[in-house]
Amino acid sequence: MSESPALRVKSACKTYERSDAPALLPTSFEVARGEFVSLVGPSGCGKSTLLGMIAGLIAPDSGAVEALGRPVTGPGDGRAIVFQDAALFPWLTVSHNVEYGLRAHGVPKAERRERVREALAMVRLEDVGGKHPYELSGGMRQRASIARALVMQPEILLMDEPFSALDAQTRTILSDELQRIWLETRPAVVFVTHNLIEAAFLSDTVHLLSSGPGRIVKTYDIDLPRPRDEADPVLLDLRHDMLDRLRAEVDDAAGQRAQVAEVTAL
Amino acid sequence: MSTATGGGERGASRVARGAGAVALGLLRKSWFVILIIAVWWVVSATGVVDPYKLPAPGDVLSTLGTLFTERALLEDLGATLLRLVEGWAIGVVAGVLLGLLTGGSTFLEDGIRPVIAGLQAVPTIAFLPLAILWFGFNGTAVLAITAFGTFKPMALATYGAMHQISPTLLMAGRALGAKGLFMQRTLIFPAILPSLVTGLKMGWSFAWRALMAAEIVVTGAAGLGGVLELGREIGAIDVVMAVILVILVVGIVTEQLFFTRLERWVNRRWGLVGAR
């Protein structure tokens, strides 16, 4: 029996209104069930557009996205999202934030309570369930946001630069925690970041994207045993390689623009 | 023993200093009011202005007392406040419901919002003759005008607030499976509540204005506006000024005591202030 992959992106592309350059050229890739995939690249490389399409929040101009064998037409349906700024509901306590998706899906109260407790324990926030988001630090807010996604028991977890607003230390701690949580729950993950070492550390597969126009320029398979250590020299080498590749792309793009400028000057 | 007495003395002086600070703070905020009353008193005492045009502050105060004891001004005040709360509540519910139900659809909002914005440009009191023809020369017409005066800014405030909701918050809600009425009730409504509370305050002052204007015209039923108009008819300027004083105090008290506190509470509860 061949099970459909978690995600299948088929020639999805996007050009935004009032912009002549495509945000994303036709792009295809697959994410296997339980696989951790990162989309990495500089701003404007289309990685967030790509994630938005997978989430069902942005419609591709052409091409298609399939999740768990079904075409993506909207958000939800086995996919949960963690946003960069946590996007917690400020008027709800942490527990109620985590409970929100279960309420929206009509899960009975007793089961809700149990699942919220589990999710909060998973991100180590058992003690702050009664607090409001403004009482938490940035790192704790992002933990709560991860719990709010995990409580849905998603088969696919989408994360849009979840740690980029945090200080370096908190970021390191949280990416360690994310590795642990992923090993315990094993959803397929699509992780968007501009942090190369973070991507290499967490991922089975890293898609390197470049801007102007956005596209995948290289794919890295990272076959290292887990749990991993961010200080692993292999990861540092990988980071160098990715960085070189990105530099070359940026130089290329700059060269092309310079050529265009020369031509139009004549 | 002696140390205890010493502590008591220090405590007493601290209380005295505290009271001094409070008095100073009050003075800083009220010096201009005191100045106005002083000038008023001097002008009326010197007799430069005819007392029929400007009665002395003391006379106005004693008239106010007489109004409460002999003409049952309390009853008029009660009737006016009841009408104000009723009209305001009807306007708030209608305005917020309209905003919530039509603000989610571009088609509905594009059609309805400009009409309400246009109506808002017309002083509510201009609709009083219409209300009298519809409801009669009575309290119902006044109530309708008060409700209408509240309804317009509340609907507009609701539209405005809905456009202010963070798109990420909406996306988060949709991604978690919220839609339809559940979304309206658990996400849209709480998300706009802080701006709505500001709108409530504005709606209250619009209601208060519309109500006073309407009561001065429709004088049949009990109400402050009726007393004001009666004072004009019999040329009793002290009555007119006493009632204006009551209207002023009611406006300040409701705004400061109720709405400012409500606003502060909502903002704290929603994490808009108090974040570390």
- DSSP output for A216-266: EEEEEE----SS--TT-HHHHHHHHHHHHHHHHHHHHHHHHHHHHHHHHH-
pLDDT at B253: 87
Inter-residue contact B240 to B229 (CB < 8 Å): no
Mutate to test the interface with A, among B168, B176, B188, B272 (most CBs of A within 10 A): B176
Contact yes or no for A91 and B193 at CB 8 A: yes
Closest residue in chain A to residue B168, using alpha carbons only:
A87
- pLDDT > 90? residue B87: yes
Which chain B positions have a beta carbon within 8 Å of A55's beta carbon?
Answer: 171, 175
- State how far residue A220 is from chain B, nearest Cα, in angstroms: 29
User: What is the mean predicted confidence (pLDDT) over B233-245?
Assistant: 91
Q: How far apart are CA A146 and CA A55, in angstroms?
A: 16
User: What is the mean predicted confidence (pLDDT) over B181-188?
Assistant: 91
Res. B276 pLDDT band, cuts 50 70 90: very low
Candidates B173, B180, B182; CA nearest to A75 is B173
B180 has a chain A CB within 8 A of its CB:
no
Closest residue in chain A to residue B187, using alpha carbons only:
A89
Over residues B31-54, the pLDDT tens digits come to 898 999 999 999 988 888 888 888
Which chain A positions have a beta carbon within 8 Å of B272's beta carbon?
Answer: 90
User: What is the mean predicted confidence (pLDDT) over B57-66?
Assistant: 89
- pLDDT > 70? residue B93: yes
> Residue A188's CB: how many other CB atoms inside 10 A?
25
In this complex, how many residue pairs, one in chain A and one in chain B, have their CB atoms less than 8 Å apart?
A: 72
pLDDT at A250: 72
Give whole-number Cα distances, B18 to A111, A225, B6, B12, B13, in Å.
Answer: 55, 68, 18, 10, 8
B181 has a chain A CB within 8 A of its CB:
no
Strand order in the sheet with A36-40: A79-82, A156-160, A188-193, A36-40, A205-210, A215-221
- State how far residue A81 is from chain B, nearest Cα, in angstroms: 7
Give whole-number Cα distances, A78 to A33, A84, A129, B98, in Å.
Answer: 12, 20, 25, 34
- Beta-bridged to residue A220, according to DSSP, are A206
pLDDT at B182: 92
Quote the mean pLDDT of chain A: 89
Inter-residue contact A203 to A36 (CB < 8 Å): yes
Contact yes or no for B168 and A85 at CB 8 A: yes
Quote the mean pLDDT of chain B: 87
Instruction: Indicate the angle between helix axes B57-70 and B237-253, nearest 10 degrees.
Output: 80
Which chain A positions have a beta carbon within 8 Å of B276's beta carbon?
Answer: 134-135
Res. B210 pLDDT band, cuts 50 70 90: very high
Res. B10 pLDDT band, cuts 50 70 90: low
- State how far residue B117 is from chain A, nearest Cα, in angstroms: 30
Which chain A positions have a beta carbon within 8 Å of B191's beta carbon?
Answer: 89, 91
pLDDT at A163: 93
Contact yes or no for A134 and B182 at CB 8 A: no
Closest residue in chain B to residue A76, using alpha carbons only:
B175
Contact yes or no for A104 and B276 at CB 8 A: no
Closest partner residue to A83 (CB to CB) among B172, B191, B270 is B172
pLDDT at B4: 46
Closest partner residue to A57 (CB to CB) among B171, B271, B276 is B171
Q: How far apart are CA B263 and CA B15, in angstroms?
A: 31
pLDDT at A74: 87
- The more confidently predicted of residues A254 and B240 is B240
Least confident range from A39-43, B3-7, B42-46, B95-99: namely B3-7
Which chain B positions have a beta carbon within 8 Å of A151's beta carbon?
Answer: none
Closest residue in chain B to residue A74, using alpha carbons only:
B175
User: What is the mean predicted confidence (pLDDT) over B48-77?
Assistant: 87
pLDDT at A249: 78
Over residues B126-168, the pLDDT tens digits come to 999 999 999 999 889 999 999 999 999 999 999 999 998 988 8
Inter-residue contact A148 to A100 (CB < 8 Å): yes
The CA dihedral of B196, B199, B201, B207, to the nearest 10 degrees, is: -130
pLDDT at B12: 65
Fill in the amino acid letter for A235. L
User: What tokens does B152 get?
Assistant: 């317009």
Contact yes or no for B177 and A90 at CB 8 A: no
Which of A 22-51 lie inside 8 A of B, CB atoms?
none
Intervals of chain A under pLDDT 50: 1, 261-266
Cα(first)–Cα(last) distance of chain B, in Å?
44
- State how far residue A83 is from chain B, nearest Cα, in angstroms: 8
User: What is the mean predicted confidence (pLDDT) over B106-120?
Assistant: 91
B149-175 per-residue burial string, b: 16 or more CB within 10 A, e: under 16: bbbbbbbbbbbbbbeeeeeebbbbbbb
Which chain B positions have a beta carbon within 8 Å of A87's beta carbon?
Answer: 166, 168-169, 171-172
